[in-house]
Each structure stands twice: as structure tokens, then as C-alpha cells.
Amino acid sequence: QVRLVESGGGSVQPGGSLRLSCVVSGYTSRSYCMVWYRQPPGKQREAVAAINSEGNTRYTESVRGRFTISQDNANYTTWLQMNSLKPEDTAMYYCAVGGLVYCTSNYWSDYPETFTFWGPGTQVTVSS
């Protein structure tokens, strides 16, 4: 069975940094898409960044240049380095994994329901 566990969340001041980790177990396909999503308080879930097993990355425009997604594809682990954090980044952050094709923009950014496996989330709070 597939399990995902996020870690690294916390409370920071604006301008600070956090590094989130997501460790996936039980997923053996060599081709995949791993995605970070977030849900701010009172708002809908939104895609943040994605990376596929080939190393191709995607970002939502609001985090481009501030966040960096990376992976260790040998161990099915993904990291989200978050710099220059803003209060608007406050959210519960989730990681998900699915088939390689779902890293295309019409899936990862708009159709999170296509991803079968999700972690429980880690809270990020940015405030002064």
C-alpha cells in the first residue's frame, strides 16, 4: 500500500524559509508525478509545484522564483524549499503522487482529484 508523509512545516515570520519533505513508501512505478498542493484558510486547494520522474518541474506563478521543488527519485522523496515566505503562503501543504501523465498542466494544476495517493499534510504559518 502507498503511504505519503509530509514534514517540515511550522510557524515563521515573513521573509523566512522552510523546507518541506514528503516521503513516499510502497510506490514502485518508475514513472510518476509528485505534486505539492496547499489549502489556505478559507480558500480552495491549489497546486503549488510538481516534479515528474524525469526531473521536469512545474510551478504556479505565485511561487515562481521563491519555491523550488526537488526529488530523490531513487527513494521516492520530494522536497519543497520555500524562501521569502509571505503571509499569503499560510496553508496546509499536501503532497500527492500519481502517473507521469498527470504532471501536464491540465491535470496537476486543475484536477487534483486525478491523484489517488495523498499525505496527511503539514501546516505552514507565516505571520509577524
pLDDT of residue 116: 87
- Average confidence (pLDDT) over 53-59: 95
C-beta of residue 52 within 8 angstroms of C-beta of residue 100: yes
Q: Amino acid identity of 64? A: R
In the chain the first and final C-alpha atoms are separated, in Å, by 41
Averaged pLDDT score across all residues of the chain: 95
The C-alpha cell that represents 109 in the structure block: 494544476
pLDDT of residue 17: 98
**CA angle, corner 115, sides to 44 and 33, nearest 5?**
110
pLDDT at 105 over 80: no
**pLDDT band of 74, cuts 50, 70, 90:** confident
